[in-house]
Amino acid sequence: MLMTTSYIYQDVETTLNDQAQVAANWYSDNFLLANKEKFQAMVIKNRGRDIPNMCFKVENEEIEQTKLLKLLGVNIDHQLSFSEHVKCISLKSSQKIGVLSRLKNLIPERAKLYLFKTSILPHLTYCSLVWHFIRSSDKRKLERLQEKGLRAVFTDNHSSLMKFF
- Tell me the pLDDT tens digit for each residue of 89-138: 999 999 999 999 998 789 999 999 999 999 999 999 998 888 888 899 99
pLDDT in tens, 59-99: 888 888 888 988 888 898 888 889 999 999 999 999 999 99
**Final residue before a domain boundary, out of 66, 89, 112:** 66
Q: pLDDT tier at 30 (50, 70, 90 boundaries)? A: very high
Q: How many angstroms separate the CA atoms of 76 and 127, rounded?
A: 12
Q: How many angstroms separate the CA atoms of 161 and 87, rounded?
A: 24
Q: Domain containing 135: what range?
A: 77-164
Same domain flag for 123 and 55: no
- Of 37, 48, 36, 49, the residue nearest 9 (C-alpha): 49
Q: Which amino acid is at 4?
A: T
Burial (CB < 10 A; 0-12, 13-18, 19+), residue 29, is exposed
Query: Looking at the domain assignment, is residue 72 inside a domain?
Result: no
Same domain flag for 87 and 58: no
- Of 130, 12, 14, the residue nearest 81 (C-alpha): 130
Same domain flag for 90 and 16: no
For residues 80 and 44, the answer to whether their CB atoms sit within 8 Å is yes
Same domain flag for 129 and 105: yes
- Of 8, 71, 68, 73, the residue nearest 43 (C-alpha): 68
Same domain flag for 59 and 109: no
Same domain flag for 42 and 116: no
For residues 123 and 89, the answer to whether their CB atoms sit within 8 Å is yes
Longest dimension (CA), the chain: 74
Dihedral sign from CA coordinates of 135, 137, 138, 139: positive
**Final residue before a domain boundary, out of 66, 87, 113:** 66
Pairing of strands 64-65, 40-41: parallel
Domain count along the chain: 2
User: What percent of the chain shows pLDDT beyond 90?
Assistant: 36
Query: Looking at the domain assignment, is residue 108 inside a domain?
Result: yes
